[in-house]
A and B are shown apart, each in its own frame.
Chain A
Amino acid sequence: MEAFRVHSGLVVPLDRANVDTDLIIPKQFLKSIKRTGFGPNLFDELRYLDPFDQAAPSAVRQPNPEFSLNAPKYAGASILLSRENFGCGSSREHAVWALVQFGIRCVIAPSFADIFKNNAFKSGLLPLELDEAVVDSLFQQSADGDVVNLTIDLTSQQVTLPDGAQVNFTVDPFRRNCLLEGLDDIGITLQREDAITAFEQSHQRTQPWLFNEVNL
C-alpha cells in the first residue's frame, strides 16, 4: 500500500449526500477478476452520457460536460469533496480502487459509511471527516469559481485551507499509523500468530462444533 503522509492537491466537488458505491463503480465493472483498470469507469453513469457497452469496452465514450470530474478546471484533481454518508451501500472495494486508480488520494466528507471507510484505509485512500461547516465553506469556494487547493498533513492531522487557515482532524490512531507507514494489515496480524493459535485452541475446546469438517 502506498503510504500517505502529506498530500497537496486540487479539490473536485461532488455536491451530493449518500454517494453510494454503485454510483462510484457500477456493477457491470465488477466482473473483472483484477484489482486494476477501474479508473476509467469511476462514476461511470454520471461521467458519460452514453451507457457502457460491454461488447465494445474500449469504444470512445461521450463525457457528460455537466459532471465536475469532466471539467477542465478540475483536471488532475486528487481530493474529492462530497457530502454526508459517502460510500454507503455495497461492500465492493472496487469503489476504493476506482477512486485511487483515477488519481484520488483523499475524500473529504462530513461522514462515511463504515465498510467504505474501512476499505479506503486498506488502499491508501484517506477518508477525511471534516465538520459540515468546513465542508460547506469548501463547496462555497468551489461554487464561487475558484479552484481550491488543499494540503493535508496526516502526520500533524491538519488541513491547510487556501487562505492559509488550518483545520485539525483526527484519524483512528491504528489506521493513521498504517497509512503513514504504508503497512500491510496481514503482515501486522501475522505477528500475533501466537495469540491467534492460543485463542483458536481454547475456542475449539469450548465450541468444538465450530471446527467440524465441512463435507459438502
Chain B
Amino acid sequence: MAGIDPQSYPQPVEWTQKSGSMLNSRSATLLVAGKSTMPVAVPIIAVGLSREFVMGRTLYDKLWDAHLVDQQDDGSALIYIDRHLIHEVTSPQAFEGLRLAGRSPRRLNANVAVPDHNVSTDPKERALGGYAGVADATSRIQLETLNGNCNDFNIPLIDLADQRQGIVHVMGPEQGATLPGMTIVCGDSHTSTHGAFGALAHGIGTSEVEHVLATQCLLTKKMDNFRVVLEGEAQSGVSAKDLALAVIGKIGTAGATGCALEFAGSAVRSLSMEGRMTLCNMAIEAGARAGMVAVDRVTLDYVKSRPMAPIGEQWEMAEEYWRTLHSDADAVFDRELIMDASAIEPQVTWGTSPEMVTSIEGTVPTIEEMCDETGKKSLERALGYMGLEQGMKLTDISVDMVFIGSCTNGRIEDMRAAAAVIRGHQKADNVERVLVVPGSGLVKAQAEAEGLDKVFKNAGMEWRAPGCSMCLAMNADKVESGKRCASTSNRNFEGRQGFGGRTHLVSPAMAAAAAVTGRFTHPAHLETL
C-alpha cells in the first residue's frame, strides 16, 4: 500500500452524489428528525427521509457487519468488542461481579484503564504524586480500587502519576488505543467521541462493563442509521462545538435516540480530528449512543505513529482496510438531516438541557414561542433554575465562573483556541474563577511547551492538572449554588456542575471571550470592545 496515489484515495461520500430523489421538495417535508420543543435560529436546507432500495452499506452497517458474532431470531445480537476503556467510577461493581461469579477477563489486551472522573485537578494535591495525596478519603478508595482491580486481573493501566493519564476519551486517541474500524465501549456515555475515527463507539452501563470483561462481546440490537450532513464553510469563530450544539438545538436531546449518527458533509471533512471528536462526543446529547465520521487522510495522519497504532506491514494492511470505512455512495439512511454549516453562529445554551440553545446573537425564548404544554413547563422551570428572563439577549448575560476543559473540549486545539482569545486580556473583574483543565498530561505538557499556561495564568486564571473536573463536578471543582458558569463541557442539566449551579455550554473561544468580558460575547467582536 505504500506510495499509493493520493488521487485514487476513495473519498467519503458526498450527499450531492447520491442517486435517487431523497432530497426533492416533497421528501423534504416528510420528516422532522426527532422532536425539539425549543425554537432554534439555524436554517435548514432540507430534511429528508429516504426509503430507497438498500444498495450499499453505511459506515455503521460496515462496522456492525465486521463485528457480528451471532444474530438471534428475536433481534438480539452479539457483537465483538475490540477495545474496552475503563475508569474508576463505573467499573468497581463490574470487577466485584466477576469475583463473585469466579470469572476472569476474556482478553486482557483489549482493555486499557485510566482514572479520570474523580481525580483532583489541584496541582498541589497532584504534585504529591499517586494516591497518597488525594485528600478526599472516599475518592481515594475509589481510585485505589481501580488500581487494585487492574493489578488483580492484569488489566493494562495508566495510573494517576503517569504523564499519559487523562480523561479516558482524550487518552484513548492520543495513545492509539482508539483505531479506525474498532468497536469501542466504555462505562461512560461520551464514548461516542471515538467514533470520530470511523469506529463504532458507545457508552455502556456497569452490567455491560462486566459482560464485556467476561465475554469480550456485547448483547445488543442494531440501531437505525441517521446521517447529519453539514455542508458549507463554517464562519470564523465557529467551532465543532457550535456545529454540535446547533444540530442538538435542531433535533432535540432525544432526536437521535435509537440511532447511530454519522456526521458527513464538507464542514465535517474540513474539521481536524480533534474537532471531529468534539462533534461525535456530543452525539449522545442528541440521544445517539454512537456518533461517527468516515475515515479519510486526516484520520490516517492522526493515527499514524501513535504508540499503540500498528506499524510496518500491519499498518499497510490496516490502512487498506480503513480506507473502506465510509458510507457507500448508494447507502441508504433511515433518517437524514442536512444543515447549512455556513449559517451557524457561535452557540450558547440558555437552559437546563443541551437542546435549549441559540446563537450568541439570539435571545432567550418566550413562553408564547413554545409549541406545547410540556415545552412551556420545561421553559418555565429552566428559566427559574437558570435565573433568566424570557426574551433577554444572550449577550446581556454575565457569568461568575468559566470552565475550559472536559472530554468535549480539553484537547490541545481547544487550549489554543481559548488562549488565542485570552492573550493580551485579563479575566474580567466580575468573573470569580476561571479553571483551565487540560484533558491529559500530554495536552498539559504540549500547552506548557507552547506557553499557553502562561497566557492563562497571566490573565488571572487557574491552570489545573488533568481530569474530568467541573464537567461533572465529582471532585472539588464545582459551581456553587446560584453561580453562573460558561463551560466548554457537554451537559447543562440541573445540578450537573454542582448543586444549584447554572451552566451555559459554549465553545472554548466563547468561554474565553466570556472570561475576559464577563459576559457572553462573540469572540470576533472582542477586539472592537
Which residues of A come within 8 Å of B, CB atoms? 15-18, 20, 22-23, 26-28, 30-35, 45, 51, 54, 83-85, 88-94, 96, 111, 113-115, 118-119, 122-123, 172-174, 177, 185-186, 188-190, 192, 195-196, 199-200, 203, 206-214, 216
Chain B 72-115 per-residue mask, 1 if CB under 8 angstroms from chain A, else 0: 10111010101000000110110010000101000111011000
Complex CA–CA separation, A22 to B494 (angstroms): 8
Flag if B80 contacts A200 (CB, 8 Å). Answer: yes
Flag if A88 contacts B96 (CB, 8 Å). Answer: no
Shortest CB-to-CB span from A14 to chain B, Å, is 12
Whether B268 is near chain A, meaning CB under 8 Å from some CB there, is no
Flag if B211 contacts A83 (CB, 8 Å). Answer: no
Whether B207 is near chain A, meaning CB under 8 Å from some CB there, is yes
Apart from A93-B90, A119-B207, 5 more pairs, CB < 8 Å: A45-B494, A85-B257, A91-B203, A174-B75, A196-B215
Flag if B219 contacts A189 (CB, 8 Å). Answer: yes
CB neighbours of A199 from chain B (8 A): 69-70, 80
Flag if B188 contacts A91 (CB, 8 Å). Answer: yes
**Smallest CB gap from B187: residue in A:** A91
Size class of the B contact interface (CB-based, 8 Å): 35 or more
6 contacts between A and B (CB under 8 A): A22-B494, A27-B473, A30-B117, A111-B257, A200-B80, A212-B109
* Residue among B139, B189, B474 with max Cβ neighbours from chain A (10 Å): B189
Partner of A196 from the list B78, B142, B353, B474 (CB cut-off 8 Å) is: B78
**Smallest CB gap from A123: residue in B:** B207
CB neighbours of B181 from chain A (8 A): 207
Shortest CB-to-CB span from A113 to chain B, Å, is 6
Flag if A88 contacts B253 (CB, 8 Å). Answer: yes
CB neighbours of B74 from chain A (8 A): 172-174, 177
Shortest CB-to-CB span from B428 to chain A, Å, is 28
Shortest CB-to-CB span from B113 to chain A, Å, is 10
Flag if A173 contacts B217 (CB, 8 Å). Answer: no
Shortest CB-to-CB span from A98 to chain B, Å, is 13
CB neighbours of B142 from chain A (8 A): 31-33
Flag if B495 contacts A23 (CB, 8 Å). Answer: yes
CB neighbours of B512 from chain A (8 A): none
**Smallest CB gap from B181: residue in A:** A207
Flag if A92 contacts B145 (CB, 8 Å). Answer: no
Flag if B257 contacts A209 (CB, 8 Å). Answer: no
Complex CA–CA separation, A207 to B175 (angstroms): 19
Flag if A115 contacts B203 (CB, 8 Å). Answer: yes
Segment with Cβ contacts to A, from B1-9, B51-59, B373-381, B513-521: B373-381
- Which residues in window 342-396 of B have CB below 8 A to A? 353, 374, 377-378, 381
Complex CA–CA separation, A122 to B481 (angstroms): 35
Flag if B494 contacts A115 (CB, 8 Å). Answer: no
Which residues of B come within 8 Å of A, CB atoms? 35, 37, 67, 69-70, 72, 74-76, 78, 80, 82, 89-90, 92-93, 96, 101, 103, 107-109, 111-112, 117-118, 136, 138-139, 141-142, 145, 156-158, 162, 164, 175, 177, 179, 181-182, 187-189, 191, 202-208, 210-211, 214-217, 219-221, 223, 253-254, 257-258, 287, 289, 308, 310, 314-315, 317-318, 321, 353, 374, 377-378, 381, 472-474, 481, 491, 493-496, 499-500
Flag if A196 contacts B217 (CB, 8 Å). Answer: yes
The main secondary structure of chain B at its interface with chain A is loop
Partner of A93 from the list B207, B219, B495 (CB cut-off 8 Å) is: B207
Flag if A210 contacts B182 (CB, 8 Å). Answer: yes
Flag if A186 contacts B254 (CB, 8 Å). Answer: no
Flag if B353 contacts A18 (CB, 8 Å). Answer: yes
Flag if A188 contacts B219 (CB, 8 Å). Answer: yes
Shortest CB-to-CB span from A209 to chain B, Å, is 4
* Residue among A20, A33, A119 with max Cβ neighbours from chain B (10 Å): A33
Shortest CB-to-CB span from B169 to chain A, Å, is 13
CB neighbours of B217 from chain A (8 A): 189, 196
Partner of B205 from the list A93, A208, A209 (CB cut-off 8 Å) is: A93
CB contact under 8 A between A91 and B374, given known A200-B80, A210-B82? no
Complex CA–CA separation, A125 to B495 (angstroms): 25
Shortest CB-to-CB span from B63 to chain A, Å, is 12
Complex CA–CA separation, A21 to B211 (angstroms): 22
CB neighbours of A91 from chain B (8 A): 90, 187-189, 191, 203-205
Shortest CB-to-CB span from B451 to chain A, Å, is 29
CB neighbours of A119 from chain B (8 A): 205-208
Partner of B289 from the list A20, A114, A210 (CB cut-off 8 Å) is: A114
Flag if B78 contacts A209 (CB, 8 Å). Answer: no
CB neighbours of A186 from chain B (8 A): 101, 103, 210-211, 214-215
Complex CA–CA separation, A29 to B175 (angstroms): 31
Flag if B80 contacts A31 (CB, 8 Å). Answer: no
Complex CA–CA separation, A190 to B92 (angstroms): 22
Partner of B139 from the list A31, A89, A192 (CB cut-off 8 Å) is: A31
CB neighbours of B103 from chain A (8 A): 186
